[in-house]
Chains A and B, each alone.
Chain A
Amino acid sequence: MTLYVDKREALEKRFLVPDTEMPAGKPRSLMRDAMRRLRANKAAVGAIIVLSLIIILAVLGPYFIPYDYETPDWGAFRAPPDFASGHYFGTDQNGRDLLARVLYGTRVSLTVAIIATSVSVTVGVLYGSVAGFVGGRTDQAMMRFVDVMYALPYLLFVILLMVMFGRNVFLLFAAIGLLEWLTMARIVRGQTLSLKEREFVEAARASGVSTLPIILRHIVPNLVGPVVIYATLTIPEIVITESFLSYLGFGVQEPLTSLGTLISEGASVIQVMPWLLFFPGAVLVSLLLSFAFIGDGLRDAFDPKDR
């Protein structure tokens, strides 16, 4: 295909002053720049290493230890941590190996958090960007609905969802994600309002791109920064929510376990068997801290102006 077919000779002519000075090296996307800044942030890198270690251990660990999370060891009830017997974290009242239970619990907690966060990100980003971009009455109606949802008591919802979804933990937490999206939708809407006034959106409209492709191709990719940051902050929030719900007896049920369940069980026997609280607590705290540092690092990496 050629350009301006009837104007060939004009195109052969070299135009006045070409501006051909190019930066050296490979093209740098904003994402690559952000990742480079993230790598330079020691706290964030440390947190990423800790988090990856926890994830790897939670996924692979259970295959390497001789005990599983639900079978009692009839020879070791209420055993404190002991290297000789292989119960590195000790056992609980029912003789189950705590290390196996902590690994399993971490797995459950993280899965639940990731499911809930992806649901909340997907729904929140789509809802918020459509509301912000379309604007006017649609926006008003959509955001008032969010306000109403905010006003409803959270626990009541969870109990209702429990009734609807029954015992299925993962469906329950997908549903919790459906509640968590509210804040995401607000953040995304705000960002969209400022993005849609930018000239590159106008340029796309002038080229004939219609509303939905503009949202998907130009608005959503430019939301990556705030969305990623907020998502890393949502994950620990959901881990805590899960702990709380499990503590109340709404969450994960025996013999399945999660960090929250383990902590609530450990808390009741802190005076006689402190290790039951200490180990799951330590894992939860390191998880939350790493997510906090990673979120922080990402914020600085995506928006260096804020520092």
Chain B
Amino acid sequence: MTTPDSPTPRPAPLVEVANLKTYFPVNEGVLSRTVGHVHAVDDISFHIGHSEVVGLVGESGSGKTTVGRSLVRLNRATAGSIRFEGQELTGLSDREFQPYRRKMQIIFQDPFASLDPRKRVDAIIGEALSIHRLGRRSERRGRIAELLRLVGLPEDAMARFPHEFSGGQRQRIGIARALAVEPRFVIADEPVSALDVSVQAQIVNLIQDLQSELGLSLLFIAHDLGVIEHLCDRTIVMYLGRIMEVAPTKRLYSAPRHPYTRALLSAAPSLDRNAAHEKQVLEGEVPSPINPPSGCVFRTRCPYAIKDCAEIVPPAIAVEPDHVSACIRTELFQ
């Protein structure tokens, strides 16, 4: 699904994010004075094409979830631009944003927390339908049944309560809820990391099938590199609120250019015993996002850091067409 390089101009991407920043104030004392900010997402830019599956990886605290939440306005972006179908979203009032809540949906990480325990399944899935006034009341039942069938659940699940289902089934309900309003773009925020390994594959395959059959654009957030490799056309690697590298998934896995990506990939367990495996272990802790390092945020743990890394905030350098790496030492790993 990746657009190959061609002379014809590319169609405008569905989602275009430019210089997005999402900071959270840190308050202290009785008067709640703001003493600093958590730089959860710090100046990132990317785009997602029509029907494209983009992976977003990074370790805990890298801000990947905040990116997803900022896109659907569960967190307000501090600065930057988010364009959807060419329309700038950041300046919109909540009322003006409402139609976009139909076009973008999110699948949550924890299926045990994301379903209201006091609502029946039909009420959970149907809520968005009534909010956006989709269909007549009498038609909604049929539609909910259709959604359940779509995610592989029997129709009589409708009258049941979330706690009667297994984790995988609950996540299916979460997926049905996200699809209820026919979104063009779905954010999957670590949708399988709370599930049993045996169920993970089922859910990943379900998401993949739905994506390709319905032509959805998908931002798949995960820390599981295997899932990303299986699913995504392109992959974004984040570290401490910034993008380190963006490349088509195959390229990223076979020829990573950023030292952080290399470290991340080498840390992933592999079943292939013969694979030449130079293990590269990162030293130290992830620095605090309240007070990130100057220059390149990864320099404190980077084995290739030089003096300039503390001074220059690395720009996104196109090392190949469609392959961007935020490292000033472009000569590495050629």
Contact = CB atoms under 8 A, between A and B. Distances in A.
B116 A218 contact: yes
Majority SS at the chain A contact face: loop
Interface in A1-59: 1-4, 7, 10-11, 13, 15-23, 27-31
A198 interface: yes
A11 B114 contact: no
Interface string B98-122: 1001100110111001111111100
Nearest to B212: A10
Given A28-B164, A218-B116, A204 B172 contact: no
Nearest to B209: A15
Contacts of A11: 146, 149-150, 213
Contact of A17 (B161, B202, B210): B202
B190 to A, nearest CB: 11
A3 B147 CA distance: 8
Contacts of B110: 199
Given A1-B136, A20-B153, A203 B161 contact: no
B152 A27 contact: no
Given A3-B146, A16-B206, A200 B114 contact: yes
Contacts of A18: 152-154
B36 interface: no
B214 interface: yes
Given A199-B108, A202-B108, A16 B156 contact: no
Given A19-B168, A27-B120, A4 B160 contact: no
**What range describes how many residues of A lie at the interface?**
35 or more
B109 A7 contact: no
Contacts, number: 134
B127 interface: yes
A19 B182 contact: no
A207 interface: yes
A289 to B, nearest CB: 31
Contact of A1 (B69, B105, B139): B139
B268 interface: no
B143 A199 contact: no
Contact of B166 (A19, A210, A217): A19
**What range describes how many residues of B lie at the interface?**
35 or more
B117 A222 contact: yes
Contacts of B177: 203, 207
Interface in A199-221: 199-200, 202-210, 217-218, 221
A98 B106 CA distance: 67
B17 interface: no
A126 B101 CA distance: 28
A147 B23 CA distance: 33
Contacts of A224: 118
Interface of B: 69, 72, 74, 94, 98, 101-102, 105-106, 108-110, 113-120, 127-128, 131-132, 134-136, 139-140, 142-143, 146-147, 149-154, 156-157, 159-161, 163-164, 166, 168-169, 172, 174, 177, 181-182, 202, 205-206, 209-210, 213-215
Given A17-B152, A27-B161, A30-B161, 10 more contacts: A11-B149, A15-B206, A17-B202, A19-B168, A27-B120, A27-B164, A203-B114, A206-B106, A207-B105, A210-B94
List the 5 closest pairs (A to B, CB-CB), nearest first.
A18-B152, A10-B213, A1-B135, A207-B128, A199-B114
29 contacts: A1-B136, A3-B150, A4-B182, A4-B214, A11-B150, A15-B150, A15-B209, A15-B210, A16-B202, A17-B206, A19-B152, A19-B153, A19-B166, A19-B168, A22-B160, A22-B164, A23-B160, A27-B120, A27-B159, A28-B164, A199-B108, A200-B113, A203-B115, A206-B101, A207-B101, A207-B127, A207-B128, A208-B128, A218-B119
